[in-house]
Amino acid sequence: MIFSLLIYASQNSGQAEQTALRFSRSALSQGHKIHRVFFYGETVSAISNLKITPRDEIDITRQWLELAASDNLDLVVCIAAAVRRGVLDQQECDRHNRVAANLVAGFNLSGLGQLADAILSSDRLLTFGN
């Protein structure tokens, strides 16, 4: 089965993103495919190079990157939600005349068209958030 995930809860507001990560690992280990992980809303704030995770907490952004590297996941961040929260890649940084890009490498900014494509290309879209 092919899944896509929509995550829109803040890392600080509950377990939604950790649950999505655990689901992804489990699904992949059972032979399923994750077509795309789409980060929307408050969750994009955590995908910034300026965010520092304390040593005694889980760095879920790093864990997504590790899973993406090992299983070729497409990690997409909603561009409107990211720009609204000051999370920029180099192209958006230049476009908005900002000093520095801060989107974590390995994540890609894109629009809702990528979410629509994920829905059409997957057997199921699972949402994580409240």
Catalytic residue at 93? no
Catalytic residue among 7, 46, 76, 78: 78
Beta pairing partners, 37: 5, 75
Q: What is the pLDDT of residues 74-84, one digit of tens each?
A: 999 999 999 99
For the chain, list the domains and their CATH numbers. 2-128 (3.40.1260.10)
- What is the average pLDDT across 123-128? 97
Backbone φ and ψ of 15, nearest 5°: -105, 10
Residue range 18-67, pLDDT digits in tens: 999 999 999 999 999 999 999 999 999 989 999 888 999 889 999 999 99
Instruction: Please name which of 130, 129, 119 lies closest in space to residue 4, comparing C-alpha atoms.
Output: 119
